[in-house]
Amino acid sequence: MTIQEKKIYPRTGDKQTVYLKNVIAGQSITVGDDTIYNDFVNDPIQFEQNNVLYHYPVNHDRLIIGKFCSIACGAKFIFNSANHKLSSLSTYPFPIFFEEWGLDIKDVANAWDNKGDIVIGNDVWIGYEAIILAGVTIGDGAIIGARSVVTKDVPPYTIVGGVPAKPIRKRFPEETISALLDIKWWDWPRKKIAQNIDAIQSGNIEQLR
């Protein structure tokens, strides 16, 4: 077991930033190594309770977050149970109140539209108070602007922002993006990553090939 698999706080004296993987208890949330969450309002250890919303076991949906992601304070992941069924003639969630209406408890999930899991790639930066909705996949290397509401999939290495979030620009030329997706440096052994931090930070893609 590595240090990163055991420790909660990456920096000495900083109780606002956590290795997210090491504070998650639920089986329906998966977080990759070195992904961090910062919260200067609430205890970041309470991420699962404060930031992953309407995530009820009855729906079997999942939150999957990759490696080396940076998640800013107040980012929220809103799951399917927050939805109301749009194909119904009423938005009232009758199946939730099965006792009141003589309905079958096994049909509770019929109260909402199920759009699927939330999947976050590797090396993704999610800005302050951004909201990610159910069914969204965010590609590797993407950036989500502060207070954006992400309703649709985000391609790799794309910056999005706004309500609803829309593409602003690609972070790099397509050739560089293709190379990064092929290299997948986040899957390298830690020693190899450490040896190449200068190249990663300076944008030297040729050195990583």
Residues marked active site are found at 84
How many residues are recorded in the chain? 209
d(CA 188, CA 78): 31
Question: Residue 31 — φ and ψ, nearest 5°?
Answer: -130, 135
**3-state SS class at 59:** helix
Helix (H, G, I), strand (E, B) or coil at 70: strand
Answer positive or negative: Cα dihedral of 83, 89, 91, 97: negative
Please answer whether residues 100 and 116 qualify as being in contact, where contact means their C-beta atoms are separated by less than 8 angstroms. no
Range list of H helices, the chain: 47-50, 98-101, 174-183, 190-195, 197-202, 205-208
Contacts for 96 with CB less than 8 Å, ≥ 6 apart? 108, 111
* Phi and psi at residue 64, to the nearest 5°: -120, 120
